[in-house]
Amino acid sequence: MRATLRVLGVLTALASASCLEAVSSCAGFVGHTVEAKAREVDDLPVGLEVTHDPVEVRARWDAARREYAWDFTTTVRALEGPVTIEEFGGLSKVAGRWVSGRTFDAQDFAEWYGCPAAEVSPDVPCADPKNWERSKRLQDSASRWYFIGRRPDGTRVKGEAPLRLVGAVGPQDGLQNAPP
């Protein structure tokens, strides 16, 4: 189920100008068309720290799925006091514009990030050590992951972090894992 719920594999597949022109008809694309989610995220105050490790990720070939995969860890923590994550997702740069896909909820965060009640604090960060993006195409891609949460006083806050997918197979995989 987890594999079908990831957002940025879809966004990576969208990373072409021709797809942007027909973004609403791209297979598998759900959510906001162009820049609406980016504007919403930009308008929120920062209250979360989000990090990816590594920030620049090389691909590996996933022979079973016949697609490329970029693997990384994402960690989220509150900057001040507890914050309950309500929503998170990804934005992908397509033809110079930020495009969003599916939005995920507190239940997804709690499960994937091992974070009961989806609550993070400065002392209790939560991490997804098996985060990934997937695509049939091996290409460079820029994305930013965002997280939106709520403090106990009701204030909505955000955190976000950039991620760069490198359109090359990582040295750890070598040519034996390249597609046929």
Q: 77-106 pLDDT, tens per residue?
A: 999 999 999 999 998 888 888 888 889 999
How much is the pLDDT for 120? 98
Q: pLDDT per residue over 103-136, tens digit each?
A: 999 999 999 999 999 999 999 999 999 999 999 9
DSSP for 32-62?
Answer: --SSHHHHHHHTSPB-EEEEEESSEEEEEEE
CB 148 within 8 A of CB 106: no
Q: Domain locations in the chain?
A: 2-177
Three-state secondary-structure class, residue 30: coil
Q: Mean pLDDT over all residues of the chain? A: 81
How much is the pLDDT for 179? 54
Q: Which residues contact 75 (CB under 8 A, 6 or more apart)?
A: 50, 51, 53, 125, 126, 127
How much is the pLDDT for 95? 82
How much is the pLDDT for 35? 78
The two three-digit tokens of residue 125, written as one number = 């960060």
Q: Which CATH number fits domain 2-177: 1.10.40.50, 3.30.559.10, 1.10.760.10, 2.60.40.10?
A: 2.60.40.10
Q: pTM for the complete prediction?
A: 0.78
Q: pLDDT per residue over 10-62, tens digit each?
A: 343 333 333 333 332 232 334 445 578 889 999 999 999 999 999 999 999 99
